[in-house]
Amino acid sequence: MSGGRKGQSLREFAWVWVWLTLVVSVAAGITITVLLWGDTPTSHRDAFDVGWKSSAAVLAILAAFVTVERLRLSQREHHRQLDNDEATQFNTLSSQASEQLGSEKDAVRIGGLTDLERLAEQYPNLRQTVVDRICAYLRAPYQPPPNVIVSAVDAKSALTDTSADQAESSTPGPSDDEIAARRLELDVRRTAQQILHRHLRTEARSKGSPHAFWEKISIDLRDAVLIEIDFNDCQFASADFRNVTVYGDAGFRNARFQGPVVFEGATFYGAIWFMGTKFDGDTVFNEAKVGGAAVFHNATFHGAIWFTRVKFAGAAVFSDATFKSAALFSLAEFDFAAVFNGVEFGRDAIFSDVKCNGEVTFDGARVNSSKGRHEWPDGWRLEQSPLDSGKPRRLTRTRNDSPSERSGDGPKA
């Protein structure tokens, strides 16, 4: 289990070296005695004395070597026993946590989550496994209590059609026992979310933090139902939020996604906050629905970003955001204001066939690349300036809404 003991040598002691050393000691004693043998009894006695002492010295070296080897073997056996104890403890905690997460009692399930957290703190090499288990628990089907759903009713009505709302309203409501069970499960799920937040925050790196920072963690929350998630200041190796459903606000302020992140098909019944967030890889929001405000102020997208067919039921704020690569908003729907003031576009910027029910502004927005494909919403175009000037070009308002003006300098998408 322990990384420090991994790869310990398991070779057995080679007894051939003992017999070889014994032969060498006898041969050395005899050789020295013969070389020092003189003509007098005194010289004979001295030669014999030096000879046997030489043999004894070689045997002493052998004894020291054997002692060291025995200590090494003893230490190896001790480490092996520690590994066995750790493995036993891990298996015990793991099995207990699995049993607890399947319990009908919410307090027991919370205990299982805290046992997994303790397991990850003790064994850093198991942290990704623990996170995978927590995410698997959150991916289990769940229906929030009515008070949580009611708090998102305005956003829900904006994201669903009338027939769906009528069908849901005609469905019999849950019983009191079912509502109580949902509320208890809500506490368990909030505990799981809090564990992820505690250990993925970059603040946990500081020495004064009571929690360890779990590095290079990927999360998989596909199809999960989450409540008021707080991933502010967190760091992810990669993240999969496909078809996730979030009741309440979703906070990702100053978070960092080091790899690809997918929100395709996600439904947010509250606001989403990505202020100051850094996306190092490609980002996909295709066909996502946002019931509240979508704030990407000062966000940085190093990879390509897809907002194709996204429905923004609230205000969409991308002010001062930076798109290093392609920014694709084709067929996006903005029910309220869409603010792109001060945005930097690095390459492609495609707003083809967007639906804007509110005002769209690009005040101070600019394009840093003379190449790429550009298509803007009605009323906006790139200023006319030399393509080889090397200076960024700004977006300007225009009264000419012809397709040729809206497409800027690039071909239509």
| Beta-bridge partner residues of 396 | 381
- Mind listing the pLDDT tens digit for each residue in 197-245? 999 998 877 766 778 899 999 999 999 999 999 999 999 999 999 999 9
Element (H, E) at 247: strand 245-247
Q: How confident is the model at residue 411 (pLDDT cuts 50, 70, 90)?
A: very low
Task: Assess whether pLDDT exceeds 50 at residue 163.
Answer: no
Total number of residues shown for the chain: 413
Residue 340's pLDDT is 97
Burial 305-337 (b: 16+ CB within 10 A, else e): bbbbbbbbbbbbbbbbbbbbbbbbbbbbbbbbb
Residue 135 belongs to a domain: no
CA distance 367 to 348: 9
Residue 203 belongs to a domain: no
Provide the domain limits for residue 315: 216-406
Task: Assess whether pLDDT exceeds 50 at residue 99.
Answer: yes
Rounded mean pLDDT, 249-261? 97
Distance (Å) of CA 375 to CA 92, 123, 310, 316, 345: 59, 52, 17, 19, 12
Q: Is there a single domain that holds both residue 234 and residue 97?
A: no
Residue 209 belongs to a domain: no
Residue 47 belongs to a domain: yes
* Tokens, residue 398: 């225009």
Q: Is there a single domain that holds both residue 232 and residue 94?
A: no
Residue 405's pLDDT is 39
What is the widest separation between alpha-carbon atoms in the chain?
A: 127
Residue that is written with structure tokens 């959150």 in the block: 138
Q: How confident is the model at residue 413 (pLDDT cuts 50, 70, 90)?
A: very low
Q: Is there a single domain that holds both residue 228 and residue 85?
A: no
Residue 351 belongs to a domain: yes
CA distance 90 to 119: 7
CA distance 337 to 339: 6
Q: Are 319 and 295 in contact (CB under 8 A)?
A: no
Residue 81 belongs to a domain: yes
Q: Is there a single domain that holds both residue 222 and residue 370?
A: yes
Type of residue found at 201 = R
Q: Is there a single domain that holds both residue 96 and residue 236?
A: no
- Mind listing the pLDDT tens digit for each residue in 277-326? 999 999 999 999 999 999 999 999 999 999 999 999 999 999 999 999 99
Residue 152's pLDDT is 58
Task: Assess whether pLDDT exceeds 70 at residue 353.
Answer: yes
**How many separate domains does the chain show?**
2
Residue 224 belongs to a domain: yes
Final residue in a domain of this structure, among 47, 67, 101: 101
Q: Can you state the angle between helices 41-101 and 16-36, rounded to 10 degrees?
A: 160
Final residue in a domain of this structure, among 101, 131, 148: 101
Q: Are 38 and 160 in contact (CB under 8 A)?
A: no
* Tokens, residue 117: 């957290």
- Mind listing the pLDDT tens digit for each residue in 371-396? 788 999 989 988 876 555 667 889 99
Q: Is there a single domain that holds both residue 96 and residue 223?
A: no
Rounded mean pLDDT, 2-17? 53
Q: Is there a single domain that holds both residue 238 and residue 91?
A: no
CA distance 280 to 261: 9
* Tokens, residue 238: 């990669």
Per-state percent for the chain, helix, strand, coil, to nearest 5: 40, 15, 40
Q: How confident is the model at residue 271 (pLDDT cuts 50, 70, 90)?
A: very high
Angle at 113 between CA 209 and CA 268, to 5 degrees: 85
Residue 44's pLDDT is 64
CA distance 107 to 141: 19
Residue 189 belongs to a domain: no
Q: How confident is the model at residue 164 (pLDDT cuts 50, 70, 90)?
A: very low
| Beta-bridge partner residues of 245 | 225, 267
Residue 272 burial (C-beta neighbours within 10 Å; 0-12, 13-18, 19+): buried
Rounded mean pLDDT, 165-187? 77
Final residue in a domain of this structure, among 68, 101, 134: 101
CA distance 295 to 74: 62
